Amino acid sequence: MKKIQMLIGGRWVGGEKDEWLPVINPSDGEQIAEIVNGTANHVDEAVRAAEAAFESEEWRAWKPHERGNLLIELARYIRENAEHFAELECRDVGKPLTQARADAEAAARYFEFYGGAADKVMGDTIPIEDGLLNATVLEPAGVTAHIIPWNYPLQIIARSVGAALATGNAIVVKSAEDTPMTAHALAEWFADSPLPKGIYNHVTGLGAGAGAALSAHPKINHVTFTGSVGTGISVMQAAAKNIVPVTLELGGKSPNIVFEDADEEKALDGVVRAIIQNAGQTCSAGSRLLVEESYKEEFLGKLKARFESLKVGRGMDDKDIGPILNKRQFDQIMQRIEEAKAQGKLISGGEAVKVEGGEGGHYIAPTIIDGLDHDCPVAQEEIFGPVLSVFTFKDVEDAIRTANSTDYGLVAGVWTKDIDVAHTVASRVKAGQVFINNYGAGGGIQMPFGGYKKSGIGREKGFIALRNYVQVKNIAVRFGGG
């Protein structure tokens, strides 16, 4: 059994004295590895190693373009080993291999993008008065913590670590206890890289142990947390005690809003893909369909046919939909489906699926539920499975009101040929990203991503995310006789 150790201060940590946790392949329930259940002491060691490395002369001597080149090298390494990374992610998360390959490419793109940005993060000169040169300098925050969810570990590590390393920080990653495999593969690369020891650290373990210890550590200078709202609140509370800023990327209940004049094929494709990707275990899943009342019957009929043609299978079999992460997630989703059946009308799916060779896994048929009240829990809360709830709207105002009727605001899709309608909806929907006649846009490495309302605080991806990891220092220089 592969034993995954933690990378702390350039050393591999984890031995007989430690508690070990199993890592399970969701496709068949087989154990694929073991991780250390990292403790508060391990976290403390990692943070102190990061702090020492950050303060070292060795790290200060690294020029921005050298950090950038290193990230670009990492991107190249991921591309050269894309199949290895994709298979690890596929076995660990359960997602279909094609989707895992897309994750490997997205991770490479993040490192490449932030590698290119490393020597282009600049301050301003600000005119004050004659005889005074005033400039802002963007300095690295210091030690940055990155708490990672289980659903897209490779991509999510790459997007925040890429930006934080580009800006010169020292990193502590806490990977998700269920899916540490690609996080470990990245740690192996960093361990062999020329980075000063302690600049990149990877700790494993449970959220309540290692995760809580990391977010509460007084020597952390910034926390990027991606995960559920409840945990996000705990992380923010812990960080608040140390006056440490947080970037929170949380959940969603994102609407796809389909008008009668939409390009039907594109809208059908978009709506299906937005909810089945990673079996719906995606923060930006399009889990609500809002369809114009007059068009509902026709659109829903075609959507049902599409749903019923989807294939469910093991990750490595590369079908449309893979397994649910584990029994706990499966039970939660099935409970929501049962509630939805009782409160509304089942249009498609709504049941567990048996998969040959995947008897030890948990699979759910892609599901459509109609006729729910807007305010019932199934319509309001993230289900995190392949479950689409359908609502109708009468006109543009009604569509906007319904789209904004949850506590979330991560992503929205609008499908119409009417430019006026499209922009009216886009300007009034409370969501961090709005897609018009598309959804998800190729991974969107360069596009700011983040939430309104309970979907989060701050933005990741794109240039804007570099700002998460810097302090702004103003320097005023008096010169001449003034």
Residues whose CB falls within 8 Å of the CB of residue 477, separated by 6 or more in sequence, listed in order? 132, 133, 134, 135
Name the segment binding ligand NAD (CB under 6 A); options: 104-112, 137-145, 221-229, 412-420: 221-229
- Residue with Cβ nearer ligand NAD (91 or 217): 217
Catalytic residue among 45, 112, 177, 249: 249
Out of 249, 292, 320, 370, which residue is the one contacting ligand NAD (CB under 6 A)? 249
- Residue with Cβ nearer ligand NAD (37 or 404): 37
- Residue with Cβ nearer ligand NAD (371 or 448): 448
What is the distance between the alpha carbons of residues 91 and 252, in angstroms, rounded to a whole number? Answer: 25
Q: Degrees (nearest 5) of the Cα angle 306, 283, 408?
A: 105
152 part of the interface to ligand NAD, by CB under 6 A: yes
- Within 445-464, which residues bind ligand NAD (CB under 6 A)? 456
Residues 364-393: x/- map of binding to ligand NAD (CB under 6 A)? ------------------x-x---------
Out of 113, 150, 299, 469, which residue is the one contacting ligand NAD (CB under 6 A)? 150
Minimum distance, C-beta of residue 161 to ligand NAD, in the bound complex (Å): 14
181 part of the interface to ligand NAD, by CB under 6 A: no
Output phi, psi for 395, to 5 deg: -150, -175
Element (H, E) at 408: none
Beta bridge partners of 23: 33
Out of 27, 99, 151, 406, which residue is the one contacting ligand NAD (CB under 6 A)? 151
What is the distance between the alpha carbons of residues 83 and 383, in angstroms, rounded to a whole number? Answer: 31
Element (H, E) at 337: helix 327-343
Minimum distance, C-beta of residue 190 to ligand NAD, in the bound complex (Å): 19
Whether 283 is catalytic is yes
Q: Is residue 93 within 8 Å of 153, Cβ to Cβ?
A: yes
Q: Quick check: helix, strand or coil at residue 90?
A: helix
- Within 108-147, which residues bind ligand NAD (CB under 6 A)? 147
Minimum distance, C-beta of residue 331 to ligand NAD, in the bound complex (Å): 14
Residues whose CB falls within 8 Å of the CB of residue 208, separated by 6 or more in sequence, listed in order? none
Name the segment binding ligand NAD (CB under 6 A); options: 101-109, 224-232, 298-306, 345-353: 224-232
Minimum distance, C-beta of residue 252 to ligand NAD, in the bound complex (Å): 6
Number of residues forming the site for ligand NAD (CB under 6 A): 29
Whether 249 is catalytic is yes
Residue 127 structure tokens: 């005119």
Q: Quick check: helix, strand or coil at residue 460?
A: strand
Out of 231, 247, 256, 367, which residue is the one contacting ligand NAD (CB under 6 A)? 231
DSSP category for residue 464: G
Give which of 322, 396, 415 is closest to 363, Cα–Cα. 322
* DSSP3 helix / strand / coil % (the chain, rounded to 5): 45, 20, 35
Buried b / exposed e across 420-455, counting CB within 10 Å, b at 16+?
A: ebbebbeeebbbbbbbbeebbeebbbebebbbbbbb
Locus of tokens 């509304």: 344
Out of 101, 109, 174, 217, which residue is the one contacting ligand NAD (CB under 6 A)? 174
Catalytic residue among 34, 283, 292, 460: 283
Out of 234, 277, 348, 367, which residue is the one contacting ligand NAD (CB under 6 A)? 234
Name the segment binding ligand NAD (CB under 6 A); options: 23-31, 87-95, 230-238, 348-356: 230-238
Minimum distance, C-beta of residue 382 to ligand NAD, in the bound complex (Å): 5
> Which residue in the shown chain puts its C-beta closest to ligand NAD?
207
Out of 50, 106, 164, 176, which residue is the one contacting ligand NAD (CB under 6 A)? 176
What is the distance between the alpha carbons of residues 161 and 156, in angstroms, rounded to a whole number? Answer: 8
Q: CA dist 238 to 216, 217, 233, 244, Å? A: 5, 8, 9, 9
What is the distance between the alpha carbons of residues 153 and 88, in angstroms, rounded to a whole number? Answer: 11
The sign one gets for the Cα dihedral 11, 16, 19, 21 is positive
212 part of the interface to ligand NAD, by CB under 6 A: yes
Out of 227, 270, 313, 409, which residue is the one contacting ligand NAD (CB under 6 A)? 227
207 part of the interface to ligand NAD, by CB under 6 A: yes
Binding interface with ligand NAD (CB under 6 A): 147-152, 174, 176-177, 207-208, 211-212, 215, 226-228, 231, 234-235, 249-252, 283, 382, 384, 410, 456
Residues taking part in catalysis: 249, 283
